[in-house]
Structure 1
Amino acid sequence: MPKTNASPPGGEPVAQRGRPAGDHAAKRAEILKAAASVIAEDGYAKASLRKVAERAGYTTGAVTYYFANKEELVTALAESRFDRYDAMLEPARAKADIKLLYEQWLAMTTGDPEYWPVMSQLLTHARYEPALASIIEQRYARYHRLHTKILEAGQAQGTIRDDIPADLLADQLAAMGDGWMMMFPFEPERFDPSRVEALIDAVLTLIAPIPGTSGS
């Protein structure tokens, strides 16, 4: 039974909002999933807390328990997206395995048609929302550092060309991956399994050691 304040004269007891029942992390994840769905379908501007609550099957009050306002919700959504990048990098970092990294990147791209539509809108609106911009800047910098370390390890092992600095290769490869994510929602037929394999082979060819250099 909810806690109540003393009843005002002639009025009903005023309920105080308590913590919603259930698993906190699971409910946050459900709300973030609903927010991504609304943004992907209706656009960032129309992704109100009320719409997100309806999509998740919650009341607006339940959503505001976890996220006080839209700014908190979208920054948490951006964080969750970069968490997926970090999870994608980890196994590749352990083995300095660029092929594995891009297999996972393309699997994420083709396995989640909402991924890039949501990220592209978050990136666009970050220009006008400092809190969101700060999260994206920090998390992308972390991603770039880890990506660079994977490439540096490959260069040290002689499996990746070393005539181009690893941080520049990281920028170029990330731009290619972003391009795949951008195009997949519009041209999914370009990403059938055989072509995905060909794209990965092309990446490996581009970063392979050049004959006659120290990395060959």
Structure 2
Amino acid sequence: MVPAIAAAAEMGVNSKTIQKYYDLLRRTISEENKELAILHFGAATIDPEFFYNDAAGAELGAEKKPLFCLAKREEGVSLLFTQPSLNKDFTAKQTILGWVYARDDKAFDSLDLDRIHFIRTDEKKSGDTYNAFWVFAKKGLLKYHGGFKKNFYLFMREMEFRFNHNSNKDSSLSYLISMLQGDLNNTETGDDNAQV
């Protein structure tokens, strides 16, 4: 997206107005991505115990804090955010490509991207491993100069959408327009810290 200040200047409106519409756009994208995850995996969240029980996560240690897992679907990837759950019967474990985790509580609380890493589920050693999504997402988040921290989950849903629709920008724009025409009037701004 064009930075809010630049878009506001170009359109002759207040930057807060642009920020409001960017927020509505992110919330609409987030709901759409959440629905896709539920459709494919039965949930948009995953119990963090799966991270600690995974061979890679178990080797990293209990001080590591998972933020979300990356799950493969036919049309791209879905982010399943961690949330303790009564439902421990996640049946799509084979679709989990890896986990994005914080090194410790401080990194988790501050969302310091230098201390947040990706590890594949088949990786046995600790540390970062290459993942196209996480490299893409980190580069995208850095452009917001820390502004993503207040609404981290919304910004991650935006990165998920951008990654899945990166190959054809015209198609992405058409898809966004159709999504907004159907949903923008029904999207509410809510709790800025809500996980989605």
| TM-score band, normalised by shorter chain | under 0.3
Structure number with higher strand proportion: 2
Identify which of structures 1 and 2 has the higher relative contact order when contacts are C-alpha pairs closer than 8 Å and 6+ apart.
Answer: 2
Q: Which is greater in Rg?
A: 1
Structure number with higher helix proportion: 1
